[in-house]
């Protein structure tokens, strides 16, 4: 511990107070964080806790910050300064793309409106007023932005910087879920035909047959495919910005899954294996696919999502489906699974959703054909009852 009175130095002592005739014991630590530039007097901060170990840890953390030049006086710490600390030190457990999205929301929306407010002066009505002023954003974006602020303020509470989360219990705009428009059987067949001969012909077909996300398809490696057992392990996805970071990241749900798709999916994979062998011969010594990716560019390197999306744009335009997205292939698979009679739990597992409730929420709707089939079955039941 640094010398008492020196910058970064501190003391720990046991204290006792009497309340309503009963004694309570706690521990207090004090640390010198610097000197007041006006008076020259020492500036100190105190920490309290139930145990000596608790306050010692707080004191040591503060001492490291003071000696490293990163300590901030909580009485003067602004929301912007705290968000800088939070994004720098507390986003290590999230994916790089998620961290970048958080930083973008902070830079473009939270900091301009709340950055100058002192952390201790941020109140629930201030946050609510901020949320109410985001009318130009889609409700779904407001929800994500609010979540970023809520998490950041929650960490400040955990560290005893503020007594409670000022972002708690805000009223958010109702987020309306976009209507899903799966392909009809005729449209799916036309899309597969249009994809034939393109670089992503088998990528498109496999997406229709498995419901995998684009990032999961691009991150598939041959060692994840077991042709004998008829299974595919979805244990990673291609990172969105692999040129500046890791090639792979964990699946969106954070959990790997083993799926057992239809036999036709493996026929597509065998065709892709043959096509890749031809690409490898053509590329010669330029071929470089050390990870064994199934879908690559011409020389074996990973295919970016932007490349795949651009190619898909031309394919969908050729069959008059300009508004159709690659992700809608996943929706088409899910709806067709429901049409085929698969239970929701199985569909959840195949899609890699966190819960079956989420799957029901997204795909609990039915197509017009399914509604008609249901009505026909009920009519048969009614007529049978009426004859009794």
Q: Which tens digits make up the pLDDT trace of 163-218?
A: 899 999 899 998 777 778 889 999 999 999 999 999 999 999 999 999 999 999 99
Identify which of 217, 223, 161, 176 has the alpha carbon closest to the alpha carbon of residue 333.
217
What integer pLDDT is reported at residue 122 of this predicted model?
94
Identify which of 133, 214, 138, 146 has the alpha carbon closest to the alpha carbon of residue 177.
138
Q: 11-20, 249-258, 349-358, 365-374: which range is least confident on average?
A: 365-374
**At residue 261, does pLDDT exceed 60?**
yes
Specify the pTM.
0.67
**At residue 360, does pLDDT exceed 90?**
no
Cα–Cα distance for residue pair 340/211, rounded to 1 Å: 14
Enumerate the domain spans of the chain: 10-68, 79-158, 185-370
Looking up tokens 């030049």 gives: 69
CB atoms within 10 A of CB 211: 23
Chosen CATH of 79-158 out of 1.10.150.130, 3.30.70.1710, 2.60.120.10, 1.10.357.10: 1.10.150.130
Q: Kindly report the CATH class assigned to 185-370.
A: mainly alpha
Structural domain 10-68, CATH architecture: 2-Layer Sandwich (3.30)
The alpha-carbon radius of gyration of the chain (Å, integer) is 29
More confident residue, 51 or 66: 51
What integer pLDDT is reported at residue 1 of this predicted model?
45
Q: For residue 2, name the pLDDT band (cuts at 50, 70, 90).
A: very low
Cα–Cα distance for residue pair 348/170, rounded to 1 Å: 31
What integer pLDDT is reported at residue 3 of this predicted model?
47
> Do the first three CATH levels of 79-158 and 185-370 match, i.e. the same topology?
no
CA angle 203, 209, 213 (to 5 degrees): 60
Q: What is the DSSP letter of 164?
A: S
What integer pLDDT is reported at residue 136 of this predicted model?
84
Q: Which tens digits make up the pLDDT trace of 307-342?
A: 999 999 999 999 999 989 999 999 999 988 988 888
Q: 7-21, 277-291, 345-359, 373-387: which range is least confident on average?
A: 373-387
């Amino acid at each position: 511990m640094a010398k008492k009175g020196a910058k970064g130095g501190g003391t720990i002592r046991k204290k006792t107070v009497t309340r309503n005739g009963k004694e309570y014991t706690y521990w207090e630590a004090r640390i010198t964080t610097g000197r007041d530039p006006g008076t020259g007097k020492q500036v100190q901060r105190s920490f309290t806790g139930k145990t000596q170990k608790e306050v010692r840890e707080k004191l040591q953390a503060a001492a490291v910050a003071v000696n490293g030049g990163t300590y901030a006086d909580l009485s003067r710490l602004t929301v912007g300064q705290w968000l800088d600390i939070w994004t720098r030190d507390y986003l290590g457990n999230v994916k790089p793309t998620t961290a970048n999205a958080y930083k973008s929301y902070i830079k473009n929306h939270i900091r301009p409106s709340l950055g100058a407010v002192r952390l201790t002066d941020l109140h629930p009505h201030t946050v609510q007023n901020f949320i109410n002023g985001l009318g130009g954003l889609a409700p779904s974006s407001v929800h994500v932005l609010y979540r970023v602020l809520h998490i950041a303020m929650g960490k400040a509470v955990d560290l005893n910087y503020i007594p409670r989360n000022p972002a708690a219990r805000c009223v958010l705009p109702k987020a309306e879920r976009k209507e899903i428009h799966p392909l009809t059987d005729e449209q799916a067949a036309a899309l597969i035909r249009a994809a034939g001969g393109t670089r992503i012909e088998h990528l498109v077909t496999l997406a229709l047959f498995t419901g995998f996300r684009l990032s999961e398809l691009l991150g598939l490696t041959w060692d994840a495919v077991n042709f004998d057992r008829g299974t595919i392990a979805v244990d990673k996805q291609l990172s969105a910005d692999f040129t500046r970071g890791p090639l792979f990241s964990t699946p969106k749900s954070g959990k790997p899954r083993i799926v057992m798709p239809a036999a036709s999916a493996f026929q597509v994979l065998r065709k892709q294996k043959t096509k890749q062998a031809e690409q490898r011969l053509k590329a010669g010594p330029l071929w470089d696919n050390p990870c064994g990716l199934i879908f690559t560019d011409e020389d074996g390197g990973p295919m970016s999502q932007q490349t795949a999306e651009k190619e898909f744009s031309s394919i969908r335009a050729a069959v008059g489906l300009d508004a159709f997205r690659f992700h809608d292939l996943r929706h088409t698979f899910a709806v067709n699974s429901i049409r085929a009679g698969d239970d929701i739990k199985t569909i959840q597992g195949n899609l890699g959703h966190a819960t079956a409730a989420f799957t029901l929420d997204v795909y609990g709707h039915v197509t017009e054909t399914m509604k008609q089939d249901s009505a026909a079955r009920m009519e048969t039941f009614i007529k049978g009852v009426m004859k009794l």
